[in-house]
Structure 1
Amino acid sequence: MTHPSGPGAAPPQSVESITKIAQDYEYNSSIPLRYWLRTAGTLVREADIYEREGRDEQVYLLLFRHAQLVLVNLSSHPDAKDDKTRKALVEAEKEVQQNLAKLEVLKPRINKRYERYSQLIKERQARKQPLPQQPIPEQRDGIPDPALAGVVEPLEAGKNRDLAVRLAQSEIHRRATVRRSKEPPRDVGDNKRVAGVWGDWEDALKTDSPSADRDLSRRIQHMRNNIDHTSTDHRHHAQDSFAARAALSSTAYKYPTVPRQKPLEPISTGRIAIHDKNAERQPPPILPPKEQVGEPSRASIVDGSLESSPPLPPSKVSPAPLVPQKVQPPDAATSARPALDPSSYTFKPSAYLENGTPLRSVFLPANLRSCFLSVASSNTRRNLETCAILCGTLVSNALFISRLLIPEQTSTPDTCETVNESAIFDYCDSEDLMVLGWIHTHPSQTCFMSSRDLHTHCGYQVMLPESVAIVCAPSKDPSWGVFRLTDPPGLKTVLNCTQSGLFHPHAQDNIYTGALRPGHVVEANGLEFETVDLRPASQR
């Protein structure tokens, strides 16, 4: 369990420090707007999951970054005037407008917890009491990770694979059940994480703190002024709608439960009227207790009527054999386990980008590669590349690959291009999935990232820093690898590359690196995933 339980947890952070981290990201206007819009959508999807798990600091970071990205950067993107992307940009701006109300609710809650913690520290220092040993928050360059604020003992992914698998399967199944039932997801209003003595958040919703971040308020006001498709009435309506939803926080989603089997009731031992040919007869004698039951009483049917012989004398009755204990089947035992609460666990970052940004753990099903190679086998025999998209979700500050999506594609011996990209993202949106990377084959080449692969992966890593590229070279040794772009210098080098050739060298070294442990990718046995093939029959 990693519930925060008091001052021993990683210290809370102020809104001011969180906003500084939120603004620290690379923006490049040369990346097509459609990729940035997908990035914005990913930020909101992550924030929704963190919100359900009660992780206020991380929700605030993601929503603030989303607001600044959309209103400050994307509104001036060169593609913003394009009719094809303008509609999607307007929708993203409307989503920001709705999320501004959430930021205003979260701000005093986060600041109050931070101020109570700071006051506690001051009081102890004044009394000259020794402070409890504080764990050092996961950080680089002195910047703590907001995802670990208030977490006492974050989990190491490599040492907790089995727990991660059970946690992911329980939560993914729960979300699928909610999605299928078309009922709203569980409201975490009554199940927020509690951060010890500074964990009282409810009163913070009523009044703002005197030391609230006024500079942040001005930034938000500036963002509001940049919205050219909304009005003041719409803002009030969005805030009122959010307040109405918050008022319903006491209504949690009710999950179906399996009723316990009702035990069989004892048989009545009174006189029973047995009707046979309209003649009432006496019931058979009462059976002795189980421990004294021997042979069954002798009975015979004469002329259609039941005649019972008297039971044997007690001296001739032998004890009945013990009934063997029922053995519970393995799946039934598994299904009987209580559902794990994702807010009770937090996985700490497994690695960091070269610039110090923490990378959340990515759990990869151990048998996913063999399944993909089986799907790609027909192309591999013809020396054609095959690619697929790695989709998944976020649980307890870790990413889990749970879907292998085979898109419509065109292939050559050296390249593989997806077709109908919108169908990929439409599918992911409908299934509430995040794009976590891609996998492709090198039928006759070695296991490496070509310049073409680097440019392809750049689009994935811009959307999500933890995105990975898996290369399978079944005829070579090593036969596979998991990679990511370095940052810096790899990501910026590829983003700024203007060479037009299909395959070309890059002057910069160290453009990509391995992502398997000691990187941020962890293979996990037993992690379930589905394979979905969107290709037409002619391509399979």
Structure 2
Amino acid sequence: MGAPLAVEDIAKQAENYEYNVHIPLRYWLRTADTLQKEARQYENEGNDCQTYLLLFRHAQLVLSDLSSHPDRLLPENQKALKAARLAVNNDLRKLEVIKPRIEKRHAEYLARRRAQQQTLENLEGNETQALRLPQELDGLSSNRAPARVTSYEKAALDGEDHRSLAAKLAQREVRRRNAARRSVRQAGVSEEEEQQRRGGGVWGEWDTQLRQESTVDDLQAQIQEVARIQNEQYAATNFSRPSSTQYTSTYNYPSVPQKSAQERWSNPQATGSLPVRPPKEQFRRPSDSLPRPPALPPKPPISQPPSSAVEHSRPPPIPGKYNEYIPSAPPIPGKYLDSNTPTPRPASPSPSLDEFTFKPSAYLESGAPLRTVFLPRELRHQFMSAASPNTRKNLETCGILCGILKNNALFITRLVIPEQTSTSDTCETVNEQELFDYCDKEELMVLGWIHTHPSQTCFMSSRDLHTHVGYQVMMPESIAIVCAPTKDPSWGCFRLTDPPGKQAILNCTQPGIFHPHSVSNIYTEALKPGHVVELADAPLEVLDMRPRK
């Protein structure tokens, strides 16, 4: 378990998928896009094996299968198919980079296994040396520093037993992605260019790099803005002669035995009597004077200037208005939630969150593993609140479950309610491409869907089954949630059996909204002991794309 595989074994696994030509090409194109998103996430986490498998599968699917699909000549599919073919070129370049690392890791593994086998043979029947057997088998030495944990050596945790850890991980990842998107927008990169860079692999650590570049540019812009405001305030005070109607000062002028430099500066040509020195106590300006500047902190005691400075022709510093303004200005708030931000921010989880992975929590009927899907506990309440107007009218409502991939687990983090048309038994999305464009822009994966049965029981109708098979073709872990608020049970979380349910629905050609199927075991519960785990304190955002009435 967890042993590094050979490149040939990974390629063989990548080719092991079911391709059905009767599935519309648009579903397969979404599947190809999902494979790309998963591969990018595993690549960021350093999982070379899974990255190689997904990129190889994407290239195989696009070049061998989709290029000959009957729907390839339809105008609405040609643009997406062309983009998928271009992405394959990037796949092939990455495969060439990853392949030597996998081969080296596998060779090291085989060498370690041979050494372990030789140790077993040498220690056979020797009880004294057998005491050191575990250390010898691990290939470790007491003086050897621990090696960096690689992706396949990380601890594999059960999602059900580590819900709190999963919630912290999801919260941190959502904050990181939101900060990265803000840095991209503030750096002036258009949405189209952003998607092109992501899809083309131009950015490796694109979020970190842009955050660093944007921080410098934004800080400079803020400093320039502060200087501009100060210059305007400085010019507005008309310093031809300081007076009590222009500003309020707490500055105590030093006593001098002769005419001060301040007086000579304000009226260098005066030959008459000198103006009266203003009193040392604080002046009070009239109500119609200029706005009072922000309160300044107490100043340190000012030492008596030397006599040479008194005779100098340069005027004394402007009291409390310009020179002292910058230190007293409030600190410029940071824009990005990273480790260099000086402003207070919520405490982030420990870096140990990256030192583990979630193990598969369930398996398909075929034996294929299913990754854990974490479902926010508040999602149903939020959805039923948004669907309540339709529910009162006996109309169905549907929503799309979107989320992210992290540490080999899937987190539902966003509920999108698309524009739709409804009846008492059906619900159809309108402008589905707008929904997928939004998911692409937000780097979200479609993990399933949710809908209501306003007056029926909680079950998967034949129409629901045909709808869900499109989701499960894109991702085996996809789920369908049914809410029946007037019945008991009031909700359920389901998936198609695989086999026989998915294959039966894909091969079904019966018309009509409601029709029977010959397979009885066509769908099953997805909650524990399935692969879905409800998660409290999970991040969740709701987006209602329906037009306001």
- Separation (CA, whole Å) in 1 of partners of 2:136 and 2:425: 56
Residue 76 in 1 paired to residue 68 in 2?
A: yes
| Paired position in structure 2 for 1:161 | 163
Listed as ranges, the matches of 1:335-354 within 5 Å are 335-338=346-349, 340=351, 343-354=354-365
| Paired position in structure 2 for 1:115 | 107
- What's the offset of the Cα at 1:57? 0.5
Structure 1 contact 170–339 (Cα < 8 Å) conserved: no
1:179 to 168, 178, 181: 181
- Separation (CA, whole Å) in 2 of partners of 1:477 and 1:431: 36
Distance 1:444 1:34, change over 3 A: same
Listed as ranges, the matches of 1:30-179 within 5 Å are 30-128=22-120, 130=133, 150-179=152-181
Q: TM-score, normalised by structure 1?
A: 0.69
Distance 1:131 1:89, change over 3 A: farther
- What's the offset of the Cα at 1:357? 1.2
Distance 1:36 1:134, change over 3 A: farther
Amino acid at match of 1:456: T
| Paired position in structure 1 for 2:226 | none
Structure 1 contact 446–477 (Cα < 8 Å) conserved: yes
2:492 to 477, 481, 497: 481
Structure 1 contact 410–418 (Cα < 8 Å) conserved: yes
Amino acid at match of 2:388: S
- What's the offset of the Cα at 1:149? 6.5
Residue 516 in 1 paired to residue 516 in 2?
A: no
Deviations 1:456-499 (A, max 9, x none): 00000000111000000000000000000000000000000000
How much identity, in percent, do the aligned residues show? 56
- Separation (CA, whole Å) in 2 of partners of 1:249 and 1:278: 56
Amino acid at match of 2:361: S
Deviations 1:46-100 (A, max 9, x none): 1001111111101001000000000001111111122221221111011001110
Structure 1 contact 170–340 (Cα < 8 Å) conserved: no
Listed as ranges, the matches of 1:442-453 within 5 Å are 442-453=453-464
- Separation (CA, whole Å) in 1 of partners of 2:210 and 2:81: 33
- What's the offset of the Cα at 1:131? 6.1
- Separation (CA, whole Å) in 1 of partners of 2:20 and 2:176: 38
2:10 to 2, 18, 22: 18
| Paired position in structure 2 for 1:459 | 470
- Separation (CA, whole Å) in 1 of partners of 2:354 and 2:492: 32
What is the total number of aligned residue pairs between the two structures?
Answer: 401
- What's the offset of the Cα at 1:16? 1.1
Distance 1:132 1:153, change over 3 A: farther
- Separation (CA, whole Å) in 2 of partners of 1:343 and 1:54: 11
- Separation (CA, whole Å) in 2 of partners of 1:362 and 1:134: 36
| Paired position in structure 2 for 1:286 | none
- What's the offset of the Cα at 1:181? 1.0
2:433 to 418, 422, 425: 422
- What's the offset of the Cα at 1:250? 12
Could you list the runs of 5+ residues in structure 2 that have no partner in the other structure?
124-132, 139-149, 188-196, 217-249, 257-279, 283-342
Listed as ranges, the matches of 1:353-364 within 5 Å are 353-364=364-375
Residue 396 in 1 paired to residue 395 in 2?
A: no
Amino acid at match of 1:510: N
Distance 1:14 1:476, change over 3 A: same
Structure 1 contact 178–184 (Cα < 8 Å) conserved: no
| Paired position in structure 2 for 1:379 | 390
Distance 1:393 1:246, change over 3 A: closer
- What's the offset of the Cα at 1:337? 3.2
Distance 1:149 1:174, change over 3 A: closer
Distance 1:521 1:134, change over 3 A: farther
Secondary structure of 1:337 counterpart: coil
Amino acid at match of 2:100: P
Deviations 1:5-35 (A, max 9, x none): xxxx821111111111111111100000000
Listed as ranges, the matches of 1:232-311 within 5 Å are 254=212, 279=255
- What's the offset of the Cα at 1:247? 12
| Paired position in structure 2 for 1:438 | 449
Structure 1 contact 11–149 (Cα < 8 Å) conserved: no
Q: TM-score, normalised by structure 2?
A: 0.68
Structure 1 contact 385–443 (Cα < 8 Å) conserved: yes
- What's the offset of the Cα at 1:279? 4.8
- Separation (CA, whole Å) in 1 of partners of 2:136 and 2:465: 45
Distance 1:278 1:488, change over 3 A: same
- Separation (CA, whole Å) in 2 of partners of 1:462 and 1:20: 20
Distance 1:33 1:484, change over 3 A: same
- What's the offset of the Cα at 1:248? 11
- What's the offset of the Cα at 1:173? 1.1
Secondary structure of 1:109 counterpart: helix
| Paired position in structure 2 for 1:528 | 539
Secondary structure of 1:335 counterpart: coil
- What's the offset of the Cα at 1:342? 5.7
Deviations 1:377-426 (A, max 9, x none): 00000000000000001011111111110001111111111111101101
- Name the structure, 1 or 2, with higher relative contact order (CA <8 Å, separation 6+): 1
- Separation (CA, whole Å) in 1 of partners of 2:136 and 2:175: 39
Structure 2 contact 183–210 (Cα < 8 Å) conserved: no
Residue 500 in 1 paired to residue 511 in 2?
A: yes
Once structures 1 and 2 are overlaid, which stretch shifts more, 246-255 or 74-83?
246-255
Deviations 1:145-172 (A, max 9, x none): xxx9623420110111111111111112
Distance 1:365 1:252, change over 3 A: same
Structure 1 contact 12–149 (Cα < 8 Å) conserved: no
Distance 1:304 1:71, change over 3 A: closer
- What's the offset of the Cα at 1:183? 8.1
- Separation (CA, whole Å) in 1 of partners of 2:415 and 2:136: 44
- What's the offset of the Cα at 1:338? 4.9
Structure 1 contact 366–524 (Cα < 8 Å) conserved: yes
Could you list the runs of 5+ residues in structure 1 that have no partner in the other structure?
1-8, 136-147, 186-237, 258-273, 281-302, 306-331
Structure 2 contact 174–539 (Cα < 8 Å) conserved: no
Distance 1:275 1:489, change over 3 A: closer
Structure 1 contact 385–413 (Cα < 8 Å) conserved: yes
Secondary structure of 2:9 counterpart: helix
Secondary structure of 2:155 counterpart: coil
| Paired position in structure 2 for 1:318 | none
Distance 1:125 1:339, change over 3 A: closer
- Separation (CA, whole Å) in 2 of partners of 1:481 and 1:522: 13
Distance 1:336 1:249, change over 3 A: closer
- Separation (CA, whole Å) in 1 of partners of 2:101 and 2:211: 24
Once structures 1 and 2 are overlaid, which stretch shifts more, 119-128 or 470-479?
119-128
- Separation (CA, whole Å) in 2 of partners of 1:81 and 1:133: 61
